[in-house]
């Protein structure tokens, strides 16, 4: 017997997760009603909001590693710690 096409979403919904369906007319994800019929083509578990982590950095790190903070879009570069440590080691 094959699994229902929306098996994963149904299990997540039964476990209390919020589920969304894709509205083909508007091109947007919308919350499903209280008792979904599971007859639409696209469902998903509602994505969790991303959280930010704040850290306190030593002044030396900030002064010497400003060029590694962000990429051209202004977004945080995940490799900033590694790149900065390498740069600080090379300066010593």
Residues 38 and 63 in one domain: no
Higher pLDDT, 35 or 45: 45
Number of Cβ within 10 Å of residue 19's Cβ equals 20
Q: What is the pLDDT of residue 1?
A: 84
Q: What is the pLDDT of residue 88?
A: 65
Instruction: Give a yes or no: residue 52 inside a domain.
Output: no
Q: What is the pLDDT of residue 91?
A: 65
Task: Quickly state the pLDDT bin for 56 (edges 50, 70, 90).
Answer: confident
How is residue 20 annotated by DSSP? Answer: E
Residues 64 and 39 in one domain: no
What does DSSP say about strands 43-45 and 28-31: parallel, antiparallel, or unpaired? Answer: unpaired
Instruction: Give a yes or no: residue 50 inside a domain.
Output: no
Instruction: Give a yes or no: residue 53 inside a domain.
Output: no
Domain around 63? 59-91
Q: Is the pLDDT of residue 82 over 70?
A: no
Rounded Cα distance, 46 and 90, in Å: 45
Mean pLDDT to the nearest integer, 37-66: 77
| Strand segments (E) across the chain | 19-23, 28-31, 43-45
Mean pLDDT to the nearest integer, 58-84: 59
**How many structural domains does the chain have?**
2
């Amino acid at each position: 017997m094959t699994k229902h096409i929306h098996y994963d979403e149904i299990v997540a919904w039964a476990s209390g997760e919020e589920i969304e369906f894709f509205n083909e007319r508007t091109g947007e994800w919308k919350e499903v009603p209280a008792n979904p019929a599971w007859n639409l083509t696209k469902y998903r578990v509602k994505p969790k909001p991303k959280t930010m982590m704040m850290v306190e950095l030593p002044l030396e790190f900030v002064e010497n590693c400003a060029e590694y903070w962000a990429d051209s879009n202004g977004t945080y570069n995940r490799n900033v710690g590694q790149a900065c440590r390498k740069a600080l080691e090379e300066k010593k």
